[in-house]
Structure 1
């Protein structure tokens, strides 16, 4: 099946985003066993646990790698005062060794769907092949970006902040391509994809020492060298040298993956330039989330760029209602009262790619769609291990 994997990788490298973070740099393409596809974090329905999932593009784990979730906690957004690390190693697909903080450990075979309980019973682990819950019309997105690039090269004017003034006809054409696949109905490019998955359900008391508001990100490391990192969907894969050449994008992504949320301010300028392009996709400049109209044009997109560069997935663990990507961030903004009782984070059912792009284009959560609204499989946000079992008929990449 090596040929299938190589063909898929070639297609991925020619697209703007296979998934939230899949195959985002040459280094992770070279070893998909340490390539984070997506991460998810949300509060359990009984309000007692934090549920976490990380998909790995490769179908096995690297015995020399560490796979980690980092959970910062605090009393309110964006203030965090404590960190808990969950670090897992896999000697094989049937032997896991995870340390949660300093005292909680899970060791043994994590491959059974019921999961592996820690000795204390406060945490549960599953690791193995599952169906990928992320859904995305990759080809339609690529077609839209290609058309946008072509029109920019033809001389579409930009305002002082860099936002393109596409005509209504051009905007309609770009959005139409976004909603279709090869000119027909939109299709989920990831249908049937079966990555390795690391799934945890941990008591909140293990991760909320600083307070109920949690900021989650994940990384993979080999010999203490960070290979990949991710928090929110699409930031690392969609906003670094957006519409730029592949060489520049690869350099930014390699540097971005090596950074941490604390050291990511260096990427604010390049993210801001990408945000200027996104702001114009709905045909109107100046209506993006967190845009600063009082700032000079060069700083208009800096507030949102700084928020996104931090790249942590925020969860309000005091809430058991989880419906909206960016809910914690939105609740902190003026007019965000409707999200104050939403846990935010990211469940397996969020229409993440469309919400993310809509907030960047129009400041709303439903202005842009790639035409794919749900995954082809049924996942559960309540029943462990949450992600659907792989469909063996489609698990062709093992």
Structure 2
């Protein structure tokens, strides 16, 4: 009996020491509760960048292109100047003009003198001669005989007859206004128009057609109903 009692006392004492050691260890190192740490605490919320809305549009600089009719600048603004710097300066100045009410007066003289040169392209060809250019005034000598066509081309923007659903003639509105071609066409510029052939013909004196650049139309880009030049460039 004494041996059993002593063994029980020794066991109880050992358990007490272990309990004391465990409590002492907990008190000396500190636990999450003692340090004030909460495992559920993730810190302040991350709100991310503040959405200030879309940025303001940039301030526009000098206009670099009128986006008007094709070939006007190339054909009729300094086409015979052999100095690249002066050609570039003349065409930049032309494109930078923002007031449409001043376009004709500012550019008519330059276009007149160049139309006079192009009018000679068909001289001796199929009865062609100087002065047979569209709207040329044979009663006037010199470059000013080309003033009507020069004025029409200097007003370098596309005119559209929105009341018409028939679109088959490039510059139809302008041709009707100058009584060159009676029509009710919408004008403007649709994909099938061969605008370069038109410009070559009108300026050379062969009429509204007759002199082309020998470049055929690409059916996939001229016969559709969807503008083909806004597709994904990577396709």
Structure 2 length-normalised TM: 0.65
Unaligned stretches of 5+ in structure 1? 1-94, 99-220, 394-398
Matches within 5 A, 1:276-315: 276-283=116-123, 284-315=129-160
> For the residues of structure 2 that align with 1:298 and 1:257, how far apart are their CA atoms?
23
**Equivalent pair of 1:361/1:367 in contact (CA under 8 Å):** no
In the alignment, what sits opposite 2:89?
A: 251
> For the residues of structure 2 that align with 1:391 and 1:227, how far apart are their CA atoms?
23
The answer as to 2:64 corresponding to 1:234 is: no
- For residue 220 of structure 2, give the secondary structure of its aligned residue in structure 1: coil
**Equivalent pair of 1:348/1:387 in contact (CA under 8 Å):** no
- For residue 313 of structure 1, give the secondary structure of its aligned residue in structure 2: coil
| Equivalent residue in structure 2 for 1:349, among 189, 192, 195 | 192
Relative to structure 1, is the Cα distance of residues 392 and 357 closer, same or farther in structure 2, using a 3 angstrom cutoff? same
In the alignment, what sits opposite 1:10?
A: none
Q: Which has the higher contact order (CA 8 A, sep 6+)?
A: 1
Render the CA deviation track for 1:184-229: whole Å, top value 9, x for unaligned: xxxxxxxxxxxxxxxxxxxxxxxxxxxxxxxxxxxxx963421221
In the alignment, what sits opposite 2:217?
A: 374
Root mean square deviation of aligned Cα: 2.7
**Equivalent pair of 2:113/2:143 in contact (CA under 8 Å):** no
- For residue 365 of structure 1, give the secondary structure of its aligned residue in structure 2: coil
CA drift of 1:373 comes to: 2.5
CA drift of 1:294 comes to: 1.8
Relative to structure 1, is the Cα distance of residues 323 and 222 closer, same or farther in structure 2, using a 3 angstrom cutoff? farther
Aligned length: 173
In the alignment, what sits opposite 1:273?
A: 113
Rg bigger for which structure? 2
Relative to structure 1, is the Cα distance of residues 311 and 363 closer, same or farther in structure 2, using a 3 angstrom cutoff? farther
> For the residues of structure 2 that align with 1:238 and 1:281, how far apart are their CA atoms?
13
> For the residues of structure 2 that align with 1:328 and 1:373, how far apart are their CA atoms?
25
**Equivalent pair of 2:77/2:111 in contact (CA under 8 Å):** yes
Relative to structure 1, is the Cα distance of residues 379 and 301 closer, same or farther in structure 2, using a 3 angstrom cutoff? closer
Relative to structure 1, is the Cα distance of residues 335 and 224 closer, same or farther in structure 2, using a 3 angstrom cutoff? closer
The answer as to 2:105 corresponding to 1:262 is: no
Relative to structure 1, is the Cα distance of residues 277 and 390 closer, same or farther in structure 2, using a 3 angstrom cutoff? farther
> For the residues of structure 1 that align with 2:61 and 2:224, how far apart are their CA atoms?
33
> For the residues of structure 2 that align with 1:335 and 1:376, how far apart are their CA atoms?
30
Q: Which has the higher strand share?
A: 1
| Equivalent residue in structure 2 for 1:334, among 141, 166, 179 | 179
- For residue 294 of structure 1, give the secondary structure of its aligned residue in structure 2: coil
Matches within 5 A, 1:59-70: none
- For residue 305 of structure 1, give the secondary structure of its aligned residue in structure 2: helix
Matches within 5 A, 1:171-250: 223-245=60-82, 246-250=84-88
**Equivalent pair of 2:191/2:221 in contact (CA under 8 Å):** no
> For the residues of structure 2 that align with 1:247 and 1:347, how far apart are their CA atoms?
34
Structure 1 length-normalised TM: 0.40
Unaligned stretches of 5+ in structure 2? 1-53, 124-128
- For residue 122 of structure 2, give the secondary structure of its aligned residue in structure 1: coil
> For the residues of structure 2 that align with 1:259 and 1:233, how far apart are their CA atoms?
17
CA drift of 1:263 comes to: 2.2
